[in-house]
Structures are given as structure tokens and as C-alpha cells.
Amino acid sequence: MAARPRRPTHVRPRLRRHRRLFLLIPLLLLFLLPPLSAVIFRRANSLGRRCLSVTAPHTPLAGRRLSFSIVTLSDESRGARGRSFRGMLNATARNRRAYAAVHGYGLAVLPPEAVDRSRPPAWSKVLALRAHLHRHHWLFWNDADTLVTNPDIALETILVSVIGHSDFHTSPDLILTEDINGVNSGLFFIRRSKWSERFLDIWWNHTSFVQFGSTKSGDNFALKHIIDHLSPEEMQAHVRIAKMQCLFNSYPWNWMAMWKSLHALIFHPSTTWKGVYSDGDFMVHFAGLDDKRGWTSRILKEIGTT
């Protein structure tokens, strides 16, 4: 049996030094990765990311125009701690109005009186959509913390990109995007139909999901719960989830040096890539961000309007 070779003594200090270097790697990642990824993410579209399917036509077929309305609502008087929507409706009004006017869409901004006080304000989107559903072919729900960043893109183009055709009568009813937490209720399309009416009623009836006193109001959890419990047949017939979140719901927080961004980047790189806000995207959504007014000013300045 061979004697075990003695470990040369000079190795120990070097090992210790290496171990110290290893400890430095997560720290380096924490400080270098976010700014590095921010630079790359801002250019995601010029680096080859495709949010719109390439086959989507950019103008709707003449004579087959469908009626669209953007619906939004905001409770200016209340807001979760540090994540206030105060002033957001005013800050984004001109942007939304200009977009709707250029394309000939309706724009329904629900007044604060339309907010149901028995629940957090976010829930009132369900009532607002229910009330407007019969007036248009399609409604496009907009949380108040969103902006149109590429007004050249028409809602018809977005829908064709997801659905694959523009026949209203054979379209699914609910068009959503997905982030790392699942479907998101901040921006979505709903079609005028019996199914949609029932869907909104069921959503509103999920009262056990209502939450007070945090940044979550429960409406998004309820939506996710309903979607998760649809049969595959019903899902196939009525719901579409866009392959690319950046089609109409891009998030800018992934640029920031936050633990959350790093976590998303490491554990959900593909979802992050599909959803991060990049120059040329249709809409930006300040989901999960505190300084919504500040972000609004910054993005409006970047895209050259105020």
C-alpha cells in the first residue's frame, strides 16, 4: 500500500486565497450583472428579439374594421405603501389619448366614483370591463402605470400576432401575457362575447382572493387561479397567452440593480428576455416599481413626448 503523499505545504495559503476569490464571485455578479444586462436588455430588439410575429400585417383589412376601446381606471386617492398610483392617470393621459386618437380607438377612463370601495381599487377593472363589454368588439385593459412607447403598432396587429388571423367570430376571448409569476392582469384584451361576460362575473365572484394592506390586491391571483383551473378544451377555445410578453406588456425593472432582477436573470433567463422593456416595444408597464411617476417622466422623455 503506497504511502499517502504529503500535501505540499505551499498549497494551503493559495487554496485559502482561492476560497476568498470564490466568495467574491457572487459579489461581482451582484454588482456587474445588472448594469451589463441592462445594456443588453435595452437593445434586445436590435439584438434579434421578435415581439411581433413577422407575418402580422401592419394595417387592418379595409372594410373589416373592428371597434376597439382602451379602458383604464385609477384610484388617485389611495395607494399601497410606497407604491402609489397618485397622479398616474393624469401623467399618462396624454400618451393614451394620443395613441387612441391616431388609430381611432375609444378610450374610457373610469372616474374614481366607479371604483368599488369594498375592495382594493385594482379589482374595479373587472366592473369597468363588464360595463363596457357590449359597446366594442374588443376592450384593451390598461393599468394606469403603463405607457404606449411605440404608437406605430396597432392593436389589430397585436391581436393578429397572437391569434394568427383577424376573424372576430372565431377568435379566442381573452388575450394575456405571462411574466415570471404567471399571467399578468395589468394589460390584456377581452372580446365581446357571452364567454367573456361570464368570465368577468366569475372573476369578480372570486371574493376569497381579495387582499388588503399590501402591494397585492388579489385580482391577479384570482385571474391566475381561474386560468389554471380551466379545462384544456376551454383554454384552447377561449384563452391565448402571447408567446412574447414584450408584445404588449414590457417591464423595465429588470435593468435595475436589484436582488429581484438578478434572481430573475439567473432563474428565469428566457422569461426575462421575453418580457424586458427594450427600445421599440409597444408598451411599458411599471409593474412592481415604486416610483411610478418618476418612471413615467423618464420614459416619456426617452420616447420624446411629455
Ligand X SMILES: *[C@@H]1O[C@H](CO)[C@@H](O)[C@H](O)[C@H]1NC(C)=O
Among 201, 228, 234, 302, binds ligand X (CB under 6 A): 201
Buried b vs exposed e over 168-205: b needs ≥16 C-beta within 10 Å?
eeebbbbbbbbbbeebbbbbbbbbbbebbbebbeebbe
Q: How far is the CB of 197 from ligand X (least distance, A)?
A: 9
Of residues 46 and 90, the one with the C-beta less far from ligand X? 90
- Residue 90 touching ligand X (CB under 6 A): yes
Q: What does the alpha-carbon distance between residue 94 and residue 187 come to, in Å, rounded to a whole number?
A: 18
Give CB contacts under 8 A, 24+ apart, made by 54-62: 56/157, 56/160, 56/161, 57/157, 57/160, 58/154, 58/157, 59/154, 59/156, 60/154, 60/156, 60/157, 60/166, 61/166
Residue whose CB is less far from ligand X, 205 or 236: 205
Ranges within 179-198 binding ligand X (CB under 6 A): 198
Q: Binding of ligand X at residue 208 (CB under 6 A)? A: no
Q: How many residues of this chain bind ligand X (CB under 6 A)? A: 7
From the CB of 46, what's the least distance to ligand X, in Å? 36
Q: Which of 46, 67, 205, 236 binds ligand X (CB under 6 A)?
A: 205
Q: Which residues contact 238 (CB under 8 A, 6 or more apart)?
A: 172, 173, 174, 195, 199, 230
Instruction: Verify binding: residue 202, ligand X, rule CB under 6 A.
Output: yes
Nearest to ligand X of 65, 198 (CB atom) = 198
Q: Which position among 33, 78, 84, 87 is part of the footprint of ligand X (CB under 6 A)? A: 87
When asked if residue 65 is in the footprint of ligand X (CB under 6 A), the reply is: no
Compare residues 201 and 302 and give the one whose CB is closer to ligand X.
Answer: 201
Under rule CB under 6 A, residue 117 binds ligand X = no
> Using CA atoms, how far apart are residues 99 and 152, in angstroms rounded to an integer?
9
Binding-site ranges for ligand X (CB under 6 A): 76, 87, 90, 198, 201-202, 205
